[in-house]
Structure 1
Amino acid sequence: MSLLPSPRTVGPFTVKAIGLGCMNLSHAYLPRPDAQQAVRLLRHALDVGVDFFDTAALYGFGANEELLGRTLMHRRDAFTLASKCVLGGKDGQRGIDGSPAAITATLEDSLRRLQVEHIDLYYLHRLDPNVPIEESVGALARAVEAGKIGAIGLSEMSAATLRRAHAVHPIAAMQTEYSPWTRNAEVAVLDACGDLGVAFVAFSPVARGVLAGGVGADGVPEGDIRAAMPRFQSPHFERNMELAAAFGAIAADAGCTMAQLSLAWVLSRRPWVIAIPGTTSIAHLDEDLATLTLDLSADTLAAVDALFTFEAVSGPRYQRAAQAQVDTETWDGEPMA
């Protein structure tokens, strides 16, 4: 199945099926690129036609937005810009504040750091359990009316929350982790997006590097955000690496790379799915984008399905504190930290 002739719609915007998640240029994953490497990657992405860039106030506690602001905005008309609020940092610690006042203040900070007067797509990064979703969406609806943002998104939220939010103001996109090894979106929210005409934006579509061959037998460096995730800890990690090896064999038989197979599988799930892999490597970026020219058989994609059943991956997706910050559905029997 060729994915090339399938641009995706995000609210009023039309984008390619693969965009760029910018988090790991400034945040969470190690090793982190130096400033010149990050700038080269972003400018190369523009040059090869990437038209959807995703950042957030949280990433580098503002540093990622600043990076995009000084690197990309001379070609502002060439891409759709997405950022996020609610989940942010104070004194080096992350926290959640979905109050209208906090959302308004964060948006002003985002506009300043990005060096723009308008952000195309602005997400509520997480659901604040202490603030009704209607109030948080209402703050962004007022920002749409003021011309400061073009469309509203949600991140890591459930189908029920999506429907409540959509009743206040049309939601353009739902962003959630989605890959062969994290399939929670298939419980309900993926189809809810289809029902409501909402784009589904898959972050970590290559399983946080595991299904791109980017994680070796030694695991991830100390200080990398993945090191605290149960799936990257023994004994879960060893089992998951066995799955990754089997996945690699499927990719080899199909004549593509592991990352390309994972991205193709994600994009094949529904025509409203967009993938935003992140990378610090120009070569890997080009490899990811080449997925759009692949012609993979239904049998190949079915083999991925058969390997990565809901129960196949060992260990919870998040540690306890991080799991408490997401509103996404869980599947029956899913392990919890």
Structure 2
Amino acid sequence: MSPQASPLQTRILSQLQTRFSGAQVVGQRLNEVDIAEWLGVSRTPVREVLRALERQGTLVYEPRRGYEIVQPLDPETGSGADGDELLDERVMREMALGTLKSVISERALLKRFAVPRGFLNSTLRRLMRDQLVEPSPGRGWVFADIGPDALRDGYRFRQIVEPAAILCDDYAVDRKTLDALDRDHAAAIESINAMEQRALFELDARFHRVIAAGAGSRQLDDVIRRQNNIRRVADYISFVRPERIRQSLIEHRGIIAALLDNRRQHAAMLMRLHLEVSADETFAHLNHDLERIRARGSLSSPADSAG
């Protein structure tokens, strides 16, 4: 929570951390109304706490489904050898660098990342839910092949399906949801240099989930989530480029405005252009970012294969 949080918001956060701690809560959903009734408070401070947790990456908001816990609400969860850097980020960086290949034993992963077993298991469960890793019975874990080819294929796929989703029959996104999304984009543009990269990525991913949800297809929702997770791996190794991020958020607002005006053809065209520009920007910097990460020498040597 920010230093400006009210005493009531601080108390609400403390209650949530007590009730929703530990790896077993990952995947559970939180409802603003239910929490307000449980704590005997109004919905407004609860809403502010949930939004703050979303900004820090502990929760993810999905239209029509509410908030999902993606990290336990323990204050210390995720801290490890790299200070404030979450274990998720460290694992994803190494996936993008291609150092987590083949089958890797849990013992080798514990040695590599030097974190408690509980932290590692929580991260592996989240990655497994996101289809980025899967267990190999009796041998360890198999990590998805996330590289330039996968990213390129993902962008190509999204350029086909996301504009088409906007044009499908009975497409509809709740106006209040779009208005709230637009306000959050406006606030992010205003404070772009002060926001953490994780918060910016979550806002970007939320935008694409909201737009896709308008098609009313759970299968499409799952595909967009999967593509967001693949992009997340690349984004975790990227260095923040504020001007491009600001421009991307402005492009998002243009799409939102077109949808609010019920100009779906225009919104679909803007989405296609946005994805084309985003792909060009990603690949213009990807190799350079990878080289800078390697040059820093902050990553350990590749993990041992299962043994």
Relative to the length of structure 2, the TM-score reads 0.33
Which has a greater percent of strand? 1
Relative to the length of structure 1, the TM-score reads 0.31
Which has a greater percent of helix? 2
For the pair shown, the structure with the greater C-alpha radius of gyration is: 2
